[in-house]
């Protein structure tokens, strides 16, 4: 499949309700989908903005922020932009309404079959799928360390809730001497040809040894077994070269814009 065909499949199949399977609620606002999740998080996405001009886009941004401001359970909101969209004035409108751009990521797409390769692992390293609470908490703690963050029970509990929901998510890890050293998720997207590979993390001392690429191949094999022929992922510049070597292609970019509810300070 060429890049144009892959990007068309991405827009047609993933920029729908399939993008947010764990949503608590979805409200339509013109072309926008305003999504609320159980973890106090809001999300704004859309298939496209049609022929909206700068004035119309500014009104959409203002209305979306007002919507979430009126829902006090939502503490933070991500507006997900895509680099290939026609969206005049969107950046300025988002910034003027308190949304802060995060680092852009690459939208990576490819055929699952191309990722299924045999990758030799270092001696003593093994791969497996995990589901137990003990394994999930160990996996999440490793991912936090790999990203230079404090271990978070909140993150682990969110992953455990996802597993309990039985939405098809799979957790894959690499272990050495009984300790998890690398991990990633596979998320089949219901009603589409796609599965997503997310959450890839490897401890620094284990990087550059082919472990993450082997985990990618294992997840691609599982995706094919589930009938998913296409793979998608949003990747940082650190993981993009690895995914490219595995067979994915950069087809566009995505930049999250983040809004957080102001914390009220009460005088003593």
- What percentage of the chain has pLDDT greater than the value 90? 80
pLDDT at 265 over 90: no
Is the separation of the CB atoms in 197 and 185 below 8 Å?
yes
Is the sign of the CA dihedral 95, 99, 105, 106 positive or negative? negative
Q: What's residue 43's pLDDT?
A: 97
Please name the helix (run of DSSP H) or strand (run of DSSP E) that holds residue 175, with its range, or none.
strand 170-176
Closest CA to 30 of 57, 68, 65: 57
- 177 backbone φψ class: left, alpha, beta (φ>0; ψ -120 to 50): left
What does the alpha-carbon distance between residue 106 and residue 244 come to, in Å, rounded to a whole number?
Answer: 11
| Partners of 44 in beta bridges | 34, 79
* Confidence check: pLDDT of 103 > 90: yes
- Residue 149: pLDDT band with limits 50, 70, 90: confident
86 or 22: which carries more pLDDT confidence?
86
- Give 55's strand partners: none
pLDDT at 87: 97
pLDDT of residue 189: 95
110-251 shares the fold of 16-107+255-260? yes
Residue 41: which of 195, 216, 168, 161 has the closest Cα? 161
- So what's the pLDDT on residue 152? 78
Q: What is the mean pLDDT of the segment spanning 44-64?
A: 97
Question: What b-and-e string marks burial along 48-79, b requiring 16 or more CB atoms within 10 Å of the CB?
Answer: ebeebeeebbbebbeebbebbeebeebeebbb
H-type helices in 106-195, by residue range?
112-115, 133-146, 153-164
What's residue 242's pLDDT? 81
* Mean per-residue pLDDT of the chain: 93
HSE value, Cβ hemisphere, 13 Å, CA-based, for 149: 12
Radius of gyration of the chain (CA): 19
Alpha-carbon gap, residue 70 to 253, rounded angstroms: 31
Looking at residue 81, what is its pLDDT? Answer: 98
pTM over 0.85: yes
The fold for domain 110-251 equals Aminopeptidase (3.40.630)
Burial 4-26 (b: 16+ CB within 10 A, else e): eebbebbbebbbbeebebeeeee
Q: Which residues contact 262 (CB under 8 A, 6 or more apart)?
A: none
Spell out the CATH class of 16-107+255-260.
alpha beta
- Parse the chain into domains and list their residue ranges: 16-107+255-260, 110-251
pLDDT band at 239 (very low <50, low <70, confident <90, very high): confident
Write down the pLDDT at residue 158. Answer: 85
């Amino acid at each position: 499949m060429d890049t144009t065909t892959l990007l068309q499949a991405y827009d047609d199949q993933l920029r729908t309700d399939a993008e947010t399977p764990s949503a608590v609620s979805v409200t339509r606002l013109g072309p926008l989908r305003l999504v609320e999740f159980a973890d106090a998080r809001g999300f704004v996405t859309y298939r496209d903005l049609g022929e909206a001009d700068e004035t119309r886009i500014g009104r959409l941004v203002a209305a979306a922020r007002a919507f979430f401001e009126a829902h006090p359970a939502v503490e933070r909101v991500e507006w997900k932009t895509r680099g290939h969209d026609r969206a005049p004035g969107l950046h300025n409108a988002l910034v003027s309404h308190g949304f802060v751009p995060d680092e852009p990521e690459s939208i990576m797409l490819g055929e699952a079959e191309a990722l299924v390769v045999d990758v030799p692992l270092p001696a003593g390293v093994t791969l497996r799928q995990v589901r137990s609470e003990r394994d999930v908490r160990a996996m999440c703690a490793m991912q936090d360390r790999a990203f230079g963050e404090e271990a978070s029970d909140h993150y682990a509990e969110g992953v455990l809730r996802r597993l309990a929901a039985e939405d098809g998510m799979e957790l894959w890890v690499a272990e050495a001497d009984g300790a998890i050293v690398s991990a990633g998720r596979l998320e089949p997207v219901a009603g589409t040809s796609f599965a997503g590979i997310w959450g890839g993390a490897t401890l620094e001392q284990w990087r550059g040894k082919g472990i993450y690429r082997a985990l990618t191949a294992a997840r691609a094999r599982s995706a094919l077994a589930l009938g998913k022929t296409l793979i998608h992922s949003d990747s940082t510049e650190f993981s993009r070269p690895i995914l490219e070597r595995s067979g994915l292609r950069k087809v566009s970019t995505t930049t999250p814009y983040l809004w957080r509810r102001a914390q009220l300070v009460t005088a003593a």
